[in-house]
């Protein structure tokens, strides 16, 4: 598909925000469904390179030897929502099953036996996900009293399918990073090719820990609304965005925006992750055996890695210290954590502990490694006297002082 991609890029002549591309290379994630000898349904997944071609119903196919989906122009053309160059897009086509439903799509002469596919365009940098629902013509014969996937036709190497885009569902926030106690809006937008009397919009949350919950539901047919976070007056314009008013650790998870227009039930996933970067500091704790302490303060999530290094001052790379200890994690009321790592400075007659120490912190919220440096100069006098000869002198001074004090008393 490399040659296809190069040719496709030449056609990327967007005008007025509309992606004027004639075709795109796509990956078809096909499914072959059958019943085994025991009567159980089995599925085999097959990946095929195909072409997604845009045009009118009477246009000829550009690639005679390729499986091609010809999508006729419509008011829900997914290209209207694309931003950026074509080489930043990844295209996937999947079969869509409406199960046992015999509901007819009301526009463009739809029948209850329509064949359905979904086409999804994803931006490789995570700027948007766009899914278009494609109705294939002509329709097929649907087996009675069986789900529609038992009647799916097999696609061969040169098959050509003409499709109509009837609904599109998209988000410009497929993955969101937010801090604790913040406000966040999860974008969800949709469009349908006809006026929809029977429309339902729902939001669900699959938390990373816990059970799935429904956050919002709106039914146009009944006029009832459950939950909050979505502006009901915006649904008529195709806006179904959800506002999370105050994020906490329980807000993390996968949010599902669902738009139901029978027989279609479209949904898209938005991942919400809470990240709070640590505040890093270094101190010298003066005591009988002083410590160099590095603290990563008030971060989330929990996992963090702290390493301590010492610079020799001779132009060599800093030396990683292996005798590093850690205090216990501290959990704060707002949900963040703190952790301190320290190294005890144990002087010897052969080597001074004075120098420059650095602290390196790894955390998922940091774009790279955070390095903090600190000099231990305030404690250097201690090491001169706390060598072995210094300790002998110190104890002698203490004994003499006690003896003199008793005599004076």
Q: What is the pLDDT of residues 144-192, one digit of tens each?
A: 667 777 777 888 888 999 999 999 999 999 999 999 888 899 999 999 9
What φ, ψ does residue 179 adopt, rounded to 5°?
-85, 170
173-273 and 279-388 have identical folds: yes
pLDDT exceeds 60 at position 380: no
pLDDT at 344: 86
**Strand pairing report for 160-171 and 68-72:** parallel
pLDDT at 279: 92
Tokens of residue 235, six digits? 């649904």
Higher pLDDT, 354 or 295: 295
pLDDT, mean of residues 43-57: 91
Give the rounded percent of residues in the chain with a pLDDT score beyond 90. 48
pLDDT at 376: 54
Higher pLDDT, 385 or 285: 285
- pLDDT digit string (tens) for 194-206? 988 899 999 999 9
pLDDT at 352: 57
Residue with tokens 């919009």: 201
Residue from 321, 374, 371, 319 nearest 344 by CA: 321
CATH number of the domain at 173-273, out of 2.60.40.10, 3.30.2130.10, 3.40.50.300, 3.40.50.150?
Answer: 2.60.40.10
Higher pLDDT, 32 or 8: 32
pLDDT, mean of residues 376-380: 48
Domain ranges (residues) in the chain = 1-167, 173-273, 279-388
Could you tell me where the beta strands, DSSP code E, fall in 79-157? 89-96, 115-123, 129-137
- The CATH homologous superfamily of the domain defined by 279-388: Immunoglobulins (2.60.40.10)
Q: Categorize the per-residue pLDDT at 10 as very low, low, confident or very high, splitting at 50, 70 and 90.
A: very low
Helix (H, G, I), strand (E, B) or coil at 176: strand
Helix (H, G, I), strand (E, B) or coil at 399: helix
pLDDT at 147: 78
pLDDT exceeds 50 at position 124: yes
pLDDT exceeds 80 at position 354: no
pLDDT at 199: 95
pLDDT at 261: 94
pLDDT at 396: 65
pLDDT, mean of residues 123-142: 87
Higher pLDDT, 102 or 342: 342
Q: Categorize the per-residue pLDDT at 384 as very low, low, confident or very high, splitting at 50, 70 and 90.
A: very low
* Cβ contact 357:363 at 8 Å: no
Cα gap 240→190, rounded to integer Å? 8
Q: What is the mean pLDDT of the chain?
A: 83
pLDDT at 393: 55
What φ, ψ does residue 2 adopt, rounded to 5°?
-65, -45
pLDDT at 397: 60
Lowest-pLDDT range, 228-237, 316-325, 327-336, 347-356? Answer: 347-356
Q: Which residues contact 221 (CB under 8 A, 6 or more apart)?
A: 197, 198, 199, 200
> What predicted TM-score, i.e. pTM, was given to this entire model?
0.80
Give the rounded percent of residues in the chain with a pLDDT score beyond 70. 82
């Amino acid at each position: 598909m490399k040659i296809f991609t190069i040719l496709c890029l030449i056609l990327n002549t967007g005008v007025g925000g509309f992606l004027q591309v004639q075709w795109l290379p796509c990956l078809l994630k096909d499914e072959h469904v059958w019943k085994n000898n025991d009567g159980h349904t089995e599925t085999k997944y097959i990946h095929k390179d195909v072409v997604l071609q845009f045009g009118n119903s009477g246009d000829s196919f550009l690639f005679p030897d390729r499986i091609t989906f010809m999508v006729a122009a419509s008011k829900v053309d997914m290209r209207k929502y694309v931003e950026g160059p074509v080489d930043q897009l990844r295209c996937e086509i999947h079969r869509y099953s409406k199960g046992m439903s015999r509901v007819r799509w009301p526009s463009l002469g739809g029948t209850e036996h329509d064949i359905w596919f979904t086409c999804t365009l994803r931006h490789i940098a995570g700027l948007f996900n766009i899914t278009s629902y494609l109705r294939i013509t002509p329709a097929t014969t649907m087996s009675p009293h069986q789900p529609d996937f038992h009647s799916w036709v097999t696609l061969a190497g040169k098959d050509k399918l003409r499709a109509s885009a009837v609904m599109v569902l998209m988000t410009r926030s497929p993955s969101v990073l937010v801090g604790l106690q913040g406000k966040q809006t999860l974008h969800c937008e949709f469009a349908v090719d006809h006026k929809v009397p029977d429309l339902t919009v729902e939001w669900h949350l699959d938390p990373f820990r816990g059970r799935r919950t429904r956050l919002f539901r709106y039914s146009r047919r009944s006029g009832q609304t459950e939950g909050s976070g979505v502006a009901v007056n915006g649904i008529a314009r195709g806006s179904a965005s959800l506002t999370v008013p105050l994020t906490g650790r329980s807000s993390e998870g996968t949010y599902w925006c669902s738009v139901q227009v029978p027989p279609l039930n479209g949904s898209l996933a938005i991942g919400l992750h809470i990240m709070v970067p640590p505040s890093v500091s270094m101190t010298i704790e003066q005591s009988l055996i002083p410590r160099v302490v590095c603290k990563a303060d008030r971060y989330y999530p929990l996992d963090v890695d702290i390493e301590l290094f010492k610079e020799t001052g001779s132009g060599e790379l800093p030396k990683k210290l292996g005798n590093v200890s850690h205090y216990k994690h501290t959990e704060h009321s707002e949900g963040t954590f703190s952790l301190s790592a320290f190294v005890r400075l144990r002087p010897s007659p052969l080597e001074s502990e004075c120098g420059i120490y650095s602290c390196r912190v790894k955390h998922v919220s940091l774009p790279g490694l955070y390095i903090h440096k600190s000099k231990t100069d305030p404690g250097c006098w201690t090491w001169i006297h706390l060598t072995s000869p210094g300790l002998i002198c110190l104890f002698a001074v203490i004994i003499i002082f006690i003896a003199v004090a008793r005599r004076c008393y």
